[in-house]
Structure 1
């Protein structure tokens, strides 16, 4: 399914983008689900980002949770570190402009209020 960007994900991507999603769910022989999610993001420049993830479920038991934490103890910290490292590289090194959606949203709300006031 497709939709225009109407939510804020990255302060480095403009709001006027198209999101194209593909979601596939497959039953595994062990009765668990395998889920594949792909997203293509495009705008007037063409394709901007193409990414996806494929996950297989396992029953959530004490043993599987304990095993996951043992195998991946720093996963959350590693993910956050990578997100902010890439944001730093985009902003400080590659000089990609930061887009402040809060200001755009506030301006938009002020314009809507002014339009309502003028039309009355």
Structure 2
């Protein structure tokens, strides 16, 4: 492994996940400081996990070597994550008027449920 491959591996496997975790923590603190009622912390966590996992799979495909773990991650993102995101969208539908956070979480949950089938069938049509 040369130096550029090591740097790419560090960025994909350490820097991006840490940046996502820091962004999640800062966002939850911001919601707490703004005294948002019914803070959707767990829903927000799953949104970060699912969209972060999608970014992780894309970066792995583009810049790194595909592995069995990447295949398991993709399996989760295509089969289980849309169900979780659908539940998140459903739970936040009635709360989307409470705050901009609830509205954004609703839209992100719904868009993931729409985005993944389009990506899967779109990629499949190219193969």
Q: TM-score, normalised by structure 1?
A: 0.34
Rg larger for: 1
